[in-house]
Amino acid sequence: MAFDVEGEIDSGLACNCSMCGKRGSLLWFVPREKLVLKTPEADMATYTFNKHHIQHRFCDKCGIHVFGEANDPKGNPVAAVNLRVLDGVDLSTIPVHNYDGRAL
């Protein structure tokens, strides 16, 4: 799956919910319009769970979680990009915020 994304990576979010904790995603949130797909949506797999608000997007070939998309509390479309799929990003330099998704 290929895409371009614009923005400055200022932090990552590590969620411990049943899904994020197991897949090990480190999420960077950007306005959805800053993420431009180069792969057709038909070549992506989508999964929703719990309240079905977030569409988790996966590569249909390898199964890697690439990003999720939903609306923020104000109704704005956002993308949660998995920083671990971005080439050339030194994850050791990015501040990580932990989110207790199990508590929800």
One-letter amino acid of 89: V
Flag whether 70 is in a domain: yes
- State the total domains in the chain: 1
- Percent helix, strand, coil in the chain (nearest 5)? 20, 40, 40
Tens of pLDDT, residues 39-97: 888 888 988 887 788 899 988 888 899 999 999 999 999 999 999 999 999 999 999 99
Strand segments (E) across 2-76:
3-5, 12-15, 27-31, 35-37, 44-47, 55-59, 65-71
Whether 98 is covered by a domain: the verdict is yes
Q: What is the pLDDT of residues 69-79, one digit of tens each?
A: 999 999 999 99
Half-sphere exposure of 35 (CA within 13 A, CB side): 23
Tens digits of per-residue pLDDT, 1-13?
A: 899 999 999 999 9
Give the CATH number of the domain where residue 56 resides.
2.170.150.70
